[in-house]
Amino acid sequence: MIVGLEEITRGEMYIGDRLVNKLPPNLRNVALAFETYALYPPLSVYENIAFNLRAKKVAPAEIDRRVKAVAEMLDITDILSRKPAELGGGHKQRVSLARALVRDPDVFLMDEPLSHLDAAQRSHMRVELKRLHAQTRRTTILVTHDQLEAVAMAERIAVMNFGVLQQVGTFEEVYNHPVNEFVAGFIGEPPMNFLPCLPVAEDGALFLNATDASFKLRLPDILRAKIERAGVTKIDLGIRPVHLEVAAPTAEGVGELKGSVATYESLGEEGQLAATVGTATVLVVTPPDLRLQRGNAVTLRLRTDHVHLFDAATQAAL
């Protein structure tokens, strides 16, 4: 819809102060960097970048100035005479970006621009794209399935599910205050744990009892108030793996999850534990020096100040 290839059936879309609902793509001044680069094989890098400007009958001297300026910005001046077949993935991506930037667009659209690059190239291009955005200050919309890419590059993140917008905000807003279980489970790596629970009042306090009876958690007043306001009877408790810790069991046992090690991986700077707790598998980020073996008994303690509560029926955050 932003490019103009699909009709806007509801609402209005503005680019700057221009209403673009009925504008054809060629009048929107929107540039698209394709996932597959879409370079013209017979043309040199210079001609690929200049192609759109030639189609618009821009003066040759101006084309040369703009191509060389964007090539210098992207550090590809030494490959302007080469053909796409002679280039690696990183250079092809830079040429694709240059072809879009040379148009001086109002909006810059990137369709998974780093998906075909290896890990080192992706890391380098993330830095380059941030630098380019700082230089051009053009509105840039980037589509990605890579959380690290989104977190590293975005000033604002929009999370979508089956074409429906779920939440828009900074990474901190989306990560710390997800509006529903989909967003909570999608943002964050490893993903958030969800544990079905029933709220139970005992001795003037409110507890969450796991539906499989594997744990019992006393809620602080602020979480108790949320449940009472919502009037829900079934709750999914959400807790991120970084907010669980392996701990020694206590006599009381409230707030502890007792289970066994399913898998444990030491990843250098951290460890990742998958523990079987009742009928659920719970993920935990641990210090890297734990020595855990499959089948070991393990006790997990969760931080109630980082618990998320969701209505089990609607999956909406309380």
Answer with the one of 130, 155, 180 that is the final residue of a domain.
Answer: 155
185 located within any domain: no
Strands 193-202 and 164-169: unpaired
Which among 131, 155, 179 is the end of a domain?
A: 155
Task: Let me know whether 198 and 285 are in one domain.
Answer: yes
Q: What is the pLDDT of residues 49-61, one digit of tens each?
A: 999 999 989 999 9
pLDDT tens digits, 123-181: 888 888 888 888 888 899 999 888 888 888 899 999 999 989 999 999 999 999 999 99
Q: Is residue 183 part of a domain?
A: no
CATH value at residue 133: 3.40.50.300
Pair type for strands 256-266 and 271-277: antiparallel
pLDDT for the residue 95: 93
Do 115 and 202 fall into the same domain? no
Same domain, 22 and 146: yes
Is 203 found in the same domain as 120? Answer: no
Task: Classify strands 193-202 and 205-210 as parallel, antiparallel or unpaired.
Answer: antiparallel
pLDDT at 153: 87
State whether 125 and 233 are in the same domain: no
pLDDT of residue 118: 81
pLDDT at site 232: 94
State which residues form the domain around 42: 14-155
Q: Give the per-residue pLDDT at 304.
A: 84
Count of structural domains within the chain:
2
Do both 61 and 145 map to the same domain?
yes
Rounded Cα–Cα distance for residues 51 and 135 (Å): 23
Measured between alpha carbons, how far is residue 287 from residues 87, 160, 243, 276 in Å? 42, 33, 12, 19
What pLDDT is recorded for position 253?
A: 67
How many whole angstroms separate alpha carbon 278 and alpha carbon 135?
Answer: 53
Which residues of the chain register pLDDT less than 70?
253
Residue 307, domain member (yes or no):
yes
The Cα 175–Cα 184 span in angstroms is 7
Q: What is the pLDDT of residues 20-37, one digit of tens each?
A: 999 999 899 999 888 888
- As to burial, measured by CB atoms within 10 angstroms (0-12 exposed, 13-18 middle, 19+ buried), residue 250 is exposed
The CATH number of whichever domain residue 236 belongs to comes to: 2.40.50.140
Which DSSP letter does residue 317 get? B
pLDDT score recorded for residue 166: 97
Cα–Cα distances in Å, from 83 out to 80, 153, 161? 8, 30, 39
- Write down which residue in 100, 132, 155 finishes a domain: 155
Residue 73 pLDDT = 85
Angle, helices 89-101/60-73, rounded to nearest 10 degrees: 130
Stated pTM of the model:
0.83
